[in-house]
Amino acid sequence: MQMSTWSDMYRQKCKSATEAVKLVCSGDWVDYGMATSQPVLLDEALAARKEELHDVKVRMALSLAPRKVVECDPTRETFTAMNWHMGSYDRKQCARGSMFFLPMSYRNEPSMYRDILDVDVAMIMVGPMDEHGYFNFGLTVSATEAITKKAKRVIVEVNEAVPKVRGGRGEVIHISDVDVVVEGPRREMPTLPFVLGDDIDLKIAKMVVEKVPDYATLQLGIGSLPNTIGVMIAESDLKDLSVHTEMLVDSFYKMHQTGRLTNKYKEINTDKTAWSFACGSSELYEWIDDNPSLSAFPVDFINDPFVVGQISRFISINSCIDIDLFGQVSSESTGFQHISGSGGQLDFTDGAYRSPGGMSIITLRSTFYDKKTNQVHSRILPTFRDGTIVTDPRSQVHWIATEYGMTNLMGASTWERAERLISLAHPDFRESLIAAAESMKIWRKSNKK
């Protein structure tokens, strides 16, 4: 078919945001997608219907700006907001009871949409339609295709500022699969500040980077500590590194700039940086835009432990909140306070361990300072506080790193785990941790105190 056919179809489907959201009915399940794919005009228009709707459930993930359906209805009289992975805005809404969390292992999100979940209306921000009738999902490929394929009705909000990403697969939707097109103003993509850590983070980063071999394939998490590690890798003399990561961040762009990143030696998607969604600086987005050396895929491919395990020297580097003496890792909550989400940490913890010559490394600072109580607390705990969620079970945890060293927990017994983890704790807390280990019968009398 000719471009004129797609253009005619486009014009026929164009409506205002106010008209478009009339597709939403009371009782519907609505999906906003994740991060940069979340709509703006459609969110505002749907919120304006608060008084005429009831029991509308809205799924989203990692909101990078306030959501109007939440702001207009904090007591959830009409809209019930649910979130797969919480950013700072979502965390605050969850704490005040205006939003609920959706647990998942990130690799399973597309299959949950395909096989389990209902989507009545999907509202997704996309780039302009091309000459073949396709809209690009931009920086969030993730589970977006699965959401739109499951939806009974699809509304796209067109934004000229959305970068065009290369697939891979699952990065586009065709005009014939769209019910309504809403044209929005050019709205620059939200960015995340690239924050580096302090001297403690630098100490941890140095130990971690020493474990990274030449020709490694990397996955990095989000935060000041992974950022610090990423910059140190970029400034190192490591050779021919590759990337296979759920989240494409500025650290990888810096590795590209310094010549560390070539993707020559990974067995899958050779010569390509493989990723699923991106958040970072405007410079990162410019690098991504229509770049044939980058390949975006749905997250059920990127995060599949079977896929990761086929890539040699796969090094997964993430951070956590707490770890207990049994080796359980929490990266999403502290007690009943929800902080982020499971994300893909368990996916890569499993996959990197399967990789020939690979390893999973979970990093954390040994302590944190509580401003409310003016006290310092250990992040290595005898057992978790009530309500704390286990992100990585002890059976899947490989390497752990703090500023006091690194240790391998895989294959270690309960007493060996206690001994190794206490050696990574701040010295001020080691005696109390030993006493707790003794009371839990996981401390050998022969252990040195």
Q: Using one digit for the tens of pLDDT, what is the confidence trace for 352-403?
A: 999 999 999 999 999 999 988 999 999 999 999 999 999 999 999 999 999 9
Q: Is 242 annotated as a binding residue?
A: no
Average pLDDT of the residues in 425-429: 98
The answer as to whether 443 is a domain residue is no
In which band, very low, low, confident or very high, does the pLDDT at 223 lie, cut at 50, 70 and 90? confident
pLDDT digits (tens, 9 = 90+) for 397-422: 999 999 999 999 999 999 999 999 99
* Residue 23 shares a structural domain with residue 60: yes
**pLDDT score at 372:** 87
Please say if the pLDDT value at position 292 is more than 80. yes
Residues 146 and 51 in one domain: yes
Mode of pairing for the β-strands spanning 273-278 and 294-296:
parallel
CATH at residue 297? 3.40.1080.20
Residue 268 has pLDDT above 80, yes or no: yes
Q: Is the pLDDT of residue 161 over 70?
A: yes
Residues 276 and 414 in one domain: yes
What would the pLDDT profile of 21-30 be if each residue is shown by its tens digit?
999 999 999 9
Cα 101 to Cα 80, 86, 104, 316, 369, distances in angstroms: 11, 8, 10, 25, 26
Residue 302 in domain: yes
Q: Is the confidence at residue 4, as pLDDT, over 90? A: no
320 phi-psi bin (left φ>0, alpha ψ -120 to 50, beta other): beta
Q: pLDDT for 38-83, tens place per residue?
A: 999 999 999 999 999 999 999 999 999 999 999 999 999 999 999 9
Q: Tell me if 223 is assigned to a ligand binding site.
A: yes
Find out whether 411 is annotated in a ligand binding site. Answer: no
Round to whole Å and give the CA distance between 136 and 258: 29
Residues 141 and 243 both lie in one domain: no
Question: Alpha-carbon distance 246 to 109, whole Å?
Answer: 13
SS3 276: strand
> What's the pLDDT at 15?
98
Number of domains in the chain: 2
| pTM for the structure as a whole | 0.95
Residue 1: the pLDDT is 61
**Residue 376 within any structural domain of the chain:** yes
Q: Do residue 203 and residue 145 come from a single domain?
A: no
Are residues 92 and 67 part of one domain? yes
Per the annotation, does 222 bind a ligand?
A: yes
- Whole-number Å distance between alpha carbons of 149 and 223: 32
Q: How far apart are CA 161 and CA 129, in angstroms?
A: 12
Note if 246 is an active site residue: yes
Q: Residues 246, 332, 403, 419: which is the catalytic one?
A: 246
Among the candidates 125, 148, 181, a domain finishes at: 181
Query: Mean pLDDT for the chain?
Result: 96
Q: Tell me, what CATH number does 67's domain have?
A: 3.40.1080.10
Looking at the structure, do residues 36 and 146 belong to the same domain, yes or no? yes
The more confidently predicted of residues 221 and 320 is 320
Q: Tell me if 2 is assigned to some domain.
A: no
Residues in a beta bridge with 244? 274
CA-CA distance, 378 to 433, in Å (whole number)?
Answer: 10
pLDDT of residue 447: 59
Which of 146, 181, 216 is the endpoint of a domain?
181
Residue 297: pLDDT above 90? yes
| pLDDT at residue 448 tops 80 | no
Q: With 60 as the cut, is the pLDDT of residue 449 above it? A: no
**Angle, nearest 10°, between helix axes 224-234 and 199-210?**
50
3-state secondary structure of 3: helix
Q: For residue 87, which amino acid is it?
A: G
Q: Tell me, what's the pLDDT at 184?
A: 94
Domain termination residue (choose one: 141, 157, 181): 181
Q: Is residue 6 part of a domain?
A: no
The answer on whether 400 is annotated among ligand-binding residues is no
Question: What is the per-residue pLDDT for 446?
Answer: 59
Q: Is residue 148 part of a domain?
A: yes
Is residue 398 one of the residues assigned to a domain?
yes
Cβ atoms of 158 and 126 within 8 Å: the answer is: yes
Domain of residue 395 covers 197-438
23 is known to lie in a ligand binding site: no
- Asked whether residue 97 is marked as a ligand-binding residue, the answer is no
Instruction: List Cα–Cα distances, 364 to 224, 245, 329, 353, 395, in angstroms.
Output: 11, 20, 10, 19, 19
Q: Are residues 175 and 207 in the same domain?
A: no
Q: Are residues 404 and 429 in the same domain?
A: yes
Same domain, 283 and 167: no
Q: Is residue 8 part of a domain?
A: no
Q: Is the same domain home to 335 and 214?
A: yes
100 and 140 share a domain? Answer: yes
